């Protein structure tokens, strides 16, 4: 069995909205293993984004235990959480968030500059090759297709060698064919590098291609399956 890279037990995230208490997460148990692609499904407002924000230390749970990269994050300061994120997590944004005046190579290497690290050209070339962008290294974002820009965003997330790649609706702005190519890329990266990929999606077809499918409703997990496992943790209780 692959090593566990993120593990949460009894995770809750409540917040106040006027006089109402919103239970965005309401007691979630979850395990994410190295080298697997985890898709989080569910209708809008079910808690998908809240879940990945908590798991990636962008938001603190109201209650529950969370281990990231083998380390408990309970009680850590924001500065300490930043260090956890830097050492374990890479982020892919739905809107790409590329700087228009920088080349593909420069956009990919940008996180290293923020970390005070000097880019290694050979490593950048390897990352660009892994996402099929070797021939686009000197291009500007305006010269790329939507799928190519998403690949730049993925390469930028990989440049710091994360153990977990976090992607919120990574195919949401892409057409069907391009979305399929991104899922295929994720599958290859997970298989070849061992990086775990945690993504949210509304697309059940794409989710069916992943190794671990979690379905949320009203802040709770109603289905948690690994299709290739002989024993599934929970059978789906309903179709969403």
Mean pLDDT, the chain, integer? 89
pLDDT at 239: 33
Which stretches in the chain have pLDDT values below 50? 232-240
The CA distance from 240 to 238, in Å, is 6
Q: Any residues with CB less than 8 A from the CB of 189 and at least 6 apart, and which?
A: 130, 154, 158, 165, 195, 197
Q: Where are the beta strands (DSSP E) in 4-72?
A: 4-17, 20-33, 37-41, 63-68, 71-72
pLDDT at 114: 82
* CA–centroid distance for 13 within its chain: 19
Question: pTM for the complete prediction?
Answer: 0.86
The CA angle 36-9-164, to the nearest 5 degrees, is 30
Q: Give 179's DSSP letter.
A: H
Tens digits of residue pLDDT in 114-132: 888 899 999 999 999 999 9
Domains and CATH numbers, the chain: 35-60+75-225 (3.40.50.300)
Handedness of CA 229, 233, 235, 240 (dihedral sign): negative
The CA distance from 51 to 187, in Å, is 22
Q: Return the structure tokens found at 207.
A: 């989710």
pLDDT at 1: 55
Comparing CA positions, the residue from 118, 117, 67, 103 lying closest to residue 88 is 67
Which strands sit side by side in the sheet containing 4-17, from one edge to the other?
Answer: 20-33, 4-17, 63-68, 71-72
The CA distance from 64 to 52, in Å, is 15
């Amino acid at each position: 069995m692959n090593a566990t890279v993120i593990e949460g037990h009894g995770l809750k995230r409540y917040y106040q909205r006027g006089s109402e208490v919103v239970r965005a997460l309401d007691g979630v148990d979850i395990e994410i293993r190295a080298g697997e692609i985890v898709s989080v499904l569910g209708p809008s407002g079910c808690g998908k984004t809240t879940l990945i924000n908590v798991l990636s230390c962008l938001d603190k749970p109201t209650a529950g235990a969370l281990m990231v990269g083998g380390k408990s994050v309970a009680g850590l300061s924001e500065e300490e959480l930043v260090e956890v994120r830097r050492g374990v997590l890479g982020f892919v944004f739905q809107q790409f968030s590329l700087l228009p005046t920088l080349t593909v190579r420069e956009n990919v290497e940008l996180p290293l500059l923020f970390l005070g690290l000097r880019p290694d050209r050979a490593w950048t070339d390897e990352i660009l090759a892994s996402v099929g962008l070797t021939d686009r290294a000197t291009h500007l974002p305006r010269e790329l297709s939507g799928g190519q820009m998403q690949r730049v965003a993925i390469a930028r997330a990989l440049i710091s060698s994360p153990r977990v790649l976090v992607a919120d609706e990574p195919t949401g702005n892409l057409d069907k064919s391009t979305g399929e190519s991104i899922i295929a890329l994720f599958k290859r990266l997970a298989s070849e590098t061992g990086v775990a990929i945690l993504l949210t999606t509304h697309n059940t077809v794409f989710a069916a291609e992943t190794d671990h499918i979690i379905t949320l409703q009203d802040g709770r997990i109603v289905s948690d399956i690994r299709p290739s496992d002989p024993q599934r943790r929970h059978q789906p209780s309903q179709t969403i």
